[in-house]
Amino acid sequence: MDKLGVITSFIHNIIVFNIPLLYGTVGEIVVEKSGSLNLGVEGTMAVGAIFGYIFGCYANSLGVGILVAFLAGAIFGLLFAALTVSFQANQNITGLTLTTFGLGIYFFVGNSVKSTGWPVMADYENVKEGFADIDIPLLSDIPLIGRGIFSHNLLVYLGIIIAVAVWWYLKHTSLGLRLRAIGENPAAADSVGINVNRMKYIHICLGCGIMGIGGYYMGLNMSGSFNSSCWINGYGWIAVALVIFANWSPAVAIFGTFVFGFFNTLRVSGTSIAAAFPETLGWLADIPAQMYQALPFIITAVVLVVTSIRNKRGSSGLPAALGLNYFREDR
């Protein structure tokens, strides 16, 4: 029984710890499908995290937290859109700048609030309870996997719903078709009367808002303890790589998040798995901690190499005009 409990908790952890990656990845997919490469995922998530957490606590409402996190991310996206769409700034540099800027805001706001009294999550009943696990009836009673997969907090379910909704939006709606057209060939989209700039603005803000919620999740998952390291902790960068792994499909992103999460979670659960199954998996405990820490990044590198080989014509989801600014009168 105890041994099975270890597996259940491992499955549970894979989901709990890695859902922010799904938010980051899906958000970035929305942005990239409009032809914009936003490398500022890390900063956008940080901004969503800090504002979402603080306002959520002050209002004592998870809903307000989610909304503020979304808005904070969206406003950051607006900044990116203004710089790259209206002012034609280089997307790579703007994205990198926003990462630095976002982390700066995160620590500036965090430290300012901390000096007057940091809101401790445990004191805010509604936030704490809102973030508590919700059992899905019947499904969560399935032995072994039930409590691992079907007993999670609201934001986990929301993340999956957003991913599926975005997948459907991109593939099965007329607006999604137009969005993809812009990412592939903005001149073609423009020539048939699609408002390229407006579509880019809307989707950059939307995608960045989704990233913001992912940031908020990370803050909550760490019980809102603010210290010298940022809550986001590199997840924004991994999300950028996961977009490529997912081949720009939100549906594949769900799968990718959990494949990636599997290795990522070994770091946390490796020793307890080793203890539960000493004969078969005891060797997990012998892997040095540094190896586990490096694992997510090694996997990312392997994934990038593998996916770059895979590209066959028409099968790649890579938007052809990704990273290129569009200016109608350019020849």
Exposure string over 268-293, b if 16+ CB within 10 A, otherwise e: ebbebbbebeeeeeeebeeeeeeebe
Q: Is residue 188 within the footprint of another protein (CB under 8 A)?
A: yes
Contacts with 212 (C-beta within 8 Å, 6 or more apart), sequence order: 27, 44, 45, 47, 48, 49, 51, 52, 69, 70, 71, 72, 73, 74, 76
In the list 4, 120, 161, 177, the residue contacting another protein (rule: CB under 8 A) is: 177
Q: Is residue 187 within the footprint of another protein (CB under 8 A)?
A: yes
In the list 178, 233, 251, 307, the residue contacting another protein (rule: CB under 8 A) is: 178
Interface with another protein by CB under 8 A: which range of 3-11, 69-77, 165-173, 274-282? 165-173
Q: Is residue 314 within the footprint of another protein (CB under 8 A)?
A: yes
Q: Is residue 54 within the footprint of another protein (CB under 8 A)?
A: no
Q: What is the distance between the alpha carbons of residues 270 and 192, in angstroms, rounded to a whole number? A: 55
- Residue 134 backbone dihedrals phi, psi, to 5 degrees: -115, 125
Interface with another protein by CB under 8 A: which range of 93-101, 183-191, 207-215, 229-237? 183-191
CB of 316 to another protein, least distance (A): 8
Q: What is the distance between the alpha carbons of residues 174 and 164, in angstroms, rounded to a whole number? A: 17
Q: Is residue 313 within the footprint of another protein (CB under 8 A)?
A: yes
Q: Is residue 331 within the footprint of another protein (CB under 8 A)?
A: yes
Interface with another protein by CB under 8 A: which range of 94-102, 173-181, 203-211, 229-237? 173-181
Q: Is residue 93 within the footprint of another protein (CB under 8 A)?
A: no
Contacts of 273-280 with C-beta under 8 Å, sequence gap 24+, read: 273/6, 273/7, 273/10, 275/6, 276/2, 276/3, 276/6, 276/7, 277/3, 277/6
Q: Is residue 165 within the footprint of another protein (CB under 8 A)?
A: no
Q: What is the distance between the alpha carbons of residues 3 and 309, in angstroms, rounded to a whole number? A: 40
Nearest to 248 by CA among 137, 167, 321, 302: 167
In the list 173, 280, 293, 311, the residue contacting another protein (rule: CB under 8 A) is: 173
Residue 199 belongs to what H/E stretch?
Answer: helix 196-221
CB of 81 to another protein, least distance (A): 19
Q: What is the distance between the alpha carbons of residues 52 and 62, in angstroms, rounded to a whole number? A: 9
Q: Is residue 312 within the footprint of another protein (CB under 8 A)?
A: no
Q: What x-and-dash track marks residues 219-238 binding another protein by CB under 8 A?
A: --------------------
Instruction: Please check whether residue 130 is in contact with residue 53, taking contact to mean a CB–CB distance below 8 angstroms.
Output: no
Q: What x-and-dash track marks residues 260-299 binding another protein by CB under 8 A?
A: ----------------------------------------
Q: What is the distance between the alpha carbons of residues 15 and 131, in angstroms, rounded to a whole number? A: 14
Q: Is residue 115 within the footprint of another protein (CB under 8 A)?
A: no
Interface with another protein by CB under 8 A: which range of 13-21, 89-97, 116-124, 172-180? 172-180
Footprint of another protein on this chain (CB under 8 A)? Answer: 171-178, 180-181, 184-185, 187-195, 313-314, 320, 328-329, 331
